Structure 1
Amino acid sequence: MQADWQSIVQRATELRHRLHRRPEIAWSEFETAKTIRGLLDELDIPWRACAETGTVACLAAGATGRHIALRADIDALPIREASGVPWQSENDGFMHACGHDGHTATLFAALWWLRAHENKLPGPVTLLFQPAEEGGHGARRMVEEGALDGVEAIFGWHNWPAIPAGKAVCPDGAVMAANGTFKVTLRGRGGHASQPELCRDPVLAAAAVAQALQQIVSRRLAAQSAAVVSVTSIDARSAETVIPDTASLAGSIRLQSSDMREQVENLIREIAVASASAYGVSAEVDVVPRYGATCNHSDEAGQMRSALAAVLGDDWQCDKTPVPIMASEDFSYYLNAVPGAFALIGAGDGDSTDHPCHNPHYDFRDALIPDVARVFLQLAGAPMPPVNP
């Protein structure tokens, strides 16, 4: 492939729009995988399927230097798009609301340049196109199926509209939080709304539990510990004159460290059961751990910071963004397996178009493609393309 950087960036942008039109959610990315594999075939790059709809490719397999991996996630979300962009989703009810289309296109921009300069790479470069990041533990299956075999370090990123364009964060240690979900089922005794004394009201108990759980962070954890316990839904549907037998509430947990998980989960159980008991109601608590904290290794984080500085300039660091942010990422599975680093790279323009990820009006910022691809090229030790082609 001819190494024309401007053409590569244009082709990657067109690929991003193509992927955006055809979003597929976790474990259903069959058309997306077909597109990725077809593009690899065009370049005669060997690849193998991994985690069903995932794809692993490798360049410069015989090079003797450090073997690194670069990762892109490929799945979309079950959200009806309202962005109004010309490349809006054609799969009704699904959209690339987190920018994984842009992550994939960016990795291809790097791949196309790396392929043209493969004989100059100091070490092998594995490219991971991973399914099911959105709650599906896709990275775990990629690791289990050997995606990191031979890899000595891995690097990844996520676009972040809350960070201004041209800025980024890439700390040592935790960059994104651990997470989990919980559900509390309250069982009382229903009856006529005119006779609450004969009932054991699970609706009132649910309200009390929801309030009490908010005290975990403010009163049961040290002020230095970053955590979020959010009650996100209460379900106690019944007629206006009927107290129901049961009610349930559900929510999300975010933790700066995976080590905090047991403590917070135990507090949720303790507080829910005790609060319900005060209203004569029983509580069943189900807590489901999801992803661990995404924790950078210091050497690799330093390498990624150097690459970010080389591309974005010396003032690239966003000091106003506290870390870890309390969103979560299954990139944590890779960082538990091999050294590596993960960066959040700014996508904000500072205007009304800065919709957050997972918003129906969101769209990936295409201007990130050349910048982040150049960060990947720095990490791979490749010759660098011109800044202004």
Structure 2
Amino acid sequence: MSILLRGQAIAEELIQFRRDLHRHPELSFQESETAAKVAERLTRIGVPYREGVGGHGIVADIRGEQPGPIVALRADMDALPIQEETELDYRSVRPGIMHACGHDAHTSILLGAAKLLAEDRGKLHGSVRLIFQSAEEINAGAKAMIEQGVLDGVNEIYGLHNLPTLPAGMVATRHGAMMGSVDRIEITLEGKGGHGAIPDQSIDPIVCASAIVMSLQTIISREASPFEPVVVTIGSIRSGDANNVIPQTCEMTGTVRTFDPRVQEQIPERIERIVNRIAEGYRCKVRLTYIRQVPVLVNHDAPVLHVDAVVDTVIGSDRRMTAQPTLAGEDFSVYLALVPGCFFWLGSGPETNADRAYGLHHPKFTVNEECIPLGSALLAEIASQRLVELSSRSGNLDTEIRS
């Protein structure tokens, strides 16, 4: 039986598992119930695991009969602080928390791949490491798991993300940079509070903040090449409580995205220069915190070619397309900075008019569940076939050395 048909055979149980996770979402570093459900399923299919890795993360190795390389597969488990607005029968029962990014589907997909691989463990040329990760949404889970050795011995790593604007049954891959870096900025301005009608006796941090917000955009328009994507967004401003009072302080937070590691290194100095000098010009004290979160997600050529070949074999080359670059971020990039691998998009939208579907992080986001068994089949085949290739390459190298 083909890997695709084997995936379809377990579709119903994977979908039901995903719907249970969707009803009971958990925020980053709070995924204890989700992890317990994953652990129970791994026990059921006879795969030993280690829990509590990098928060509530779970790591499991499916070992073949012969020693060999290790290929890792990763899925994220956390939900978002969003109030769900769908009419699904299995919509979230937890106010203000929703799987609006499809991590419930990712977890189910990896469990499906685990079941398929466990059934074939006698044929594996090495081991497949399953990584169920906490806290992707806050860009902290991958780092936490790596610190606890999740990549030890790993030769390559693969992962996927559902994409609701791509029809289910489609896959999109990309060589090189695919997703943007993610950094966070926090700015606190201190002025001198006073009466709104007597501004000359105050120092207004809101006016200063307004100048900073506008001036930060000149980094993009006047300091970065038009051919180098950069985004600097101030997403929150908090200051004052009354319409006739000049507040003492103003706090801002923002996100910085780039598509080139070199550009990512240049941005902190530019932001610091603009923020500090404008604050000085407006007589405000300022504290700027620049938090580096995740690098640009850069796929490696050989793993991408391998994913392309598996997709073409399993579902046909007409179901594969080149992914468009995006400045949305993913902490899978942290893994790829350390070991070779590939991250790709799995279509999760309707078969027609997918471009009109609600996007990731939308309160009405939904997943076309037909993508789940396909994702499981693809991940299982990607891992098992790559083990064969890496083992063969290692064996050939050993023969050359002995010769």
**SS class of match (2:79):** coil
Q: How many Å apart are 1:166 and its aligned residue?
A: 3.9
Aligned to 1:120: 123
Aligned to 2:32: 30
Q: Is the 8 A contact 1:27 1:136 kept in 2?
A: no
Select the residue among 14, 17, 28 that pairs with 1:12.
14
Aligned to 2:348: 347
Match for 1:14: what amino acid?
Q
Q: How many Å apart are 1:276 and its aligned residue?
A: 2.5
Aligned to 1:386: none
Q: Is the 8 A contact 2:204 2:247 kept in 1?
A: yes
Q: Number of aligned pairs?
A: 378
Select the residue among 214, 218, 222 that pairs with 2:221.
218
Task: For 2:226 and 2:64, locate their aligned partners in 1 and report how far apart those are by CA, in whole Å.
Answer: 49
Task: For 2:283 and 2:8, locate their aligned partners in 1 and report how far apart those are by CA, in whole Å.
Answer: 69
Change (3 A) 1:344 1:352: closer
Aligned to 1:252: 255
TM-score, structure 1 normalization: 0.91
Aligned to 1:334: 335
Aligned to 2:165: 162
**SS class of match (2:294):** coil
Change (3 A) 1:364 1:348: closer
Task: For 1:210 and 1:334, locate their aligned partners in 2 and report how far apart those are by CA, in whole Å.
Answer: 33
Q: What CA deviation, in whole Å up to 9, does each residue of 1:158-181 have, x standing for no partner?
A: 112233444433222211111111
**SS class of match (1:67):** strand
Q: How many Å apart are 1:330 and its aligned residue?
A: 1.2
Aligned to 2:95: 92
**SS class of match (2:126):** coil
Q: How many Å apart are 1:95 and its aligned residue?
A: 1.4
Q: What CA deviation, in whole Å up to 9, does each residue of 1:8-54 have, x standing for no partner?
A: 11111111111111111111111111111111111221111222411
The 5 A counterparts of 1:287-326 are 287-319=290-322, 322-323=324-325, 325-326=326-327
Identity %: 34
Q: Is the 8 A contact 1:163 1:318 kept in 2?
A: no
Aligned to 1:385: none
The answer as to 2:269 corresponding to 1:232 is no
Change (3 A) 1:377 1:238: closer
**SS class of match (2:278):** helix
Q: Aligned-residue CA RMSD in angstroms?
A: 2.0
Aligned to 2:80: 77
Task: For 2:95 and 2:84, locate their aligned partners in 1 and report how far apart those are by CA, in whole Å.
Answer: 8
Change (3 A) 1:352 1:61: closer
Task: For 1:241 and 1:36, locate their aligned partners in 2 and report how far apart those are by CA, in whole Å.
Answer: 54
Q: Is the 8 A contact 1:8 1:113 kept in 2?
A: no
Aligned to 1:387: none
Change (3 A) 1:294 1:210: same
Q: How many Å apart are 1:312 and its aligned residue?
A: 4.0
Q: Is the 8 A contact 1:121 1:380 kept in 2?
A: no
Select the residue among 47, 51, 67 that pairs with 1:45.
47
Task: For 2:383 and 2:283, locate their aligned partners in 1 and report how far apart those are by CA, in whole Å.
Answer: 62
Q: Higher mean Cα deviation, 56-65 or 23-32?
A: 56-65
The 5 A counterparts of 1:364-375 are 364-375=367-378
Q: Is the 8 A contact 2:190 2:249 kept in 1?
A: yes
Task: For 2:358 and 2:129, locate their aligned partners in 1 and report how far apart those are by CA, in whole Å.
Answer: 32
Runs of 5+ consecutive residues of structure 1 not aligned to the other structure: 383-389
Q: How many Å apart are 1:143 and its aligned residue?
A: 1.7
TM-score, structure 2 normalization: 0.88
Task: For 2:141 and 2:320, locate their aligned partners in 1 and report how far apart those are by CA, in whole Å.
Answer: 30
Q: What CA deviation, in whole Å up to 9, does each residue of 1:275-310 have, x standing for no partner?
A: 223323232211111111111111111111222233
Change (3 A) 1:5 1:293: closer
**SS class of match (2:235):** strand
Q: Is the 8 A contact 1:190 1:199 kept in 2?
A: yes
TM superposition outliers: structure 1 runs of 4+ over 4 Å: none
Q: Is the 8 A contact 2:55 2:141 kept in 1?
A: no
Task: For 1:45 and 1:245, locate their aligned partners in 2 and report how far apart those are by CA, in whole Å.
Answer: 58
Task: For 2:356 and 2:187, locate their aligned partners in 1 and report how far apart those are by CA, in whole Å.
Answer: 37
Task: For 2:220 and 2:311, locate their aligned partners in 1 and report how far apart those are by CA, in whole Å.
Answer: 34
Aligned to 2:136: 133
Q: Is the 8 A contact 2:168 2:346 kept in 1?
A: yes
Task: For 2:285 and 2:159, locate their aligned partners in 1 and report how far apart those are by CA, in whole Å.
Answer: 45
Aligned to 1:144: 147
Q: How many Å apart are 1:359 and its aligned residue?
A: 1.5
Change (3 A) 1:328 1:64: same
Task: For 2:78 and 2:241, locate their aligned partners in 1 and report how far apart those are by CA, in whole Å.
Answer: 37
Q: Which of the two has greater helix per residue?
A: 2
Q: What CA deviation, in whole Å up to 9, does each residue of 1:339-370 have, x standing for no partner?
A: 11111223233259721111111122211112
Runs of 5+ consecutive residues of structure 2 not aligned to the other structure: 386-403
Task: For 2:190 and 2:55, locate their aligned partners in 1 and report how far apart those are by CA, in whole Å.
Answer: 41
**SS class of match (1:119):** helix
Q: Is the 8 A contact 2:7 2:374 kept in 1?
A: no
Match for 2:338: what amino acid?
A
Q: How many Å apart are 1:206 and its aligned residue?
A: 1.1
Aligned to 1:266: 269
Aligned to 1:111: 114
Aligned to 1:190: 193
